[in-house]
Chain A
Amino acid sequence: MARKQINPNRMELLKLKRQLVTARRGHKLLKDKRDELMRQFLDVIRQNQALRRRVESLLAGASRQMVLARAVMVPQVLETALLAGRASLSLSVDTRNITSVNVPVFTAPFALSGSLENLPYGLASAAGELDQAVTALNQALPAMIELAEVEKTAQLLADEIEKTRRRVNSLEYILIPELKDSIRSITMKMDENERGNLTRLMKVKDMIVSQALEKARLADAAAAREQA
């Protein structure tokens, strides 16, 4: 790993140590977040699968009915019947927060139920097959709306988990080792300097002592000569 060029001084060391502490805390937090997201995600994805299976089978049924309706009805009549449409379907959208991921919650303003009463066209003009088809679709509608909500939630959670996982990994495998490495290299460098300093001091001390000894010896010699 290419180490960054850093000045081996105490201030740098302190800074790096603080960074390491922060990085470790961030790593732990993100890991917790990832685990929690994953737990939520697994619930949602299971729900998503079940719902999709249900919606697909409901819609398959509705499609069969629709094919029948098309077979027995004049296309123009069919078109007109369907065009008669009813008040457009609108949803209110709320936001739910799952571990800091904002996911939508759809609610339909009226009860979504599949009953013949709310067929949008006159029963006389259309064949019974169409009623069946529209009723079948109507029955699928609540599940479809729920699917829209759950599937979006699953997608958003999946993306967030992916992002969080990347962050956790980059902290764990890149930033934290790099910081540790830098700290180690600074400590080593500082220790080395310390040792160098110590030996230099010892050397200087030796020199001073030997100089002093020399001086004392000369002084002794001079004194001895005088006495003699």
Chain B
Amino acid sequence: MYQVGVIGDRDSVMGYRALGMAVFEAVDPQDAAAAVDELVKAHYAVIFLTEALAEAIAPHLQQYRDRRLPSIIPIPSIQGSTGFGMRQISESVRRAVGIDLFGHDDQQADSRQTDHPQDDVEES
């Protein structure tokens, strides 16, 4: 059995305690990075991380990207979404396709890509 961890500022993450997740409070990126390392060592399957922190330590998280576990997922903090999670999806698309199919902010790709052969796969 694998556990699920949450890392973020107190207000954003305290609710998850009621769901049975392991909650770790972190305010500055260093703490968050240390907490992530800790949880990876403890074989957590899923680590939810507030978007702001995830963005701040994105280079650090890169090393876990190609591992099967853990799955490190940015979630919006209590202040709301910064769009980092969505940007990360675009990043995946960019890596796979070589170009940015879905466009940067959540808006669907605009006309500059209409002549691309992959065009028919654009909309979900």
Contacts and interface: CB of A to CB of B under 8 A. Distances in A.
Tell me whether A and B are bound partners.
yes
A170 B124 CA distance: 32
Classify chain B: how many residues form its interface, as a range: 35 or more
B27 interface: no
B22 A88 contact: yes
B34 interface: no
Contacts of B14: 66, 78-79, 82
A156 interface: yes
Interface residues of A, number: 62
Interface string B2-27: 11100000011011111111100000
Contacts of B15: 62, 66, 82, 133-134, 137
A70 B14 CA distance: 11
Given A56-B75, A82-B15, A147-B73, 15 more contacts: A38-B97, A49-B86, A49-B102, A56-B76, A62-B15, A85-B20, A89-B19, A90-B1, A90-B4, A92-B1, A102-B68, A144-B73, A149-B71, A151-B89, A155-B66
Interface of B: 1-4, 11-12, 14-22, 45-46, 48, 65-66, 68-69, 71, 73, 75-81, 85-86, 88-89, 92-93, 95-98, 102, 121, 124
- Nearest 9 CB-CB pairs, A to B? A89-B20, A152-B71, A46-B124, A90-B1, A158-B92, A158-B96, A161-B96, A148-B46, A148-B71
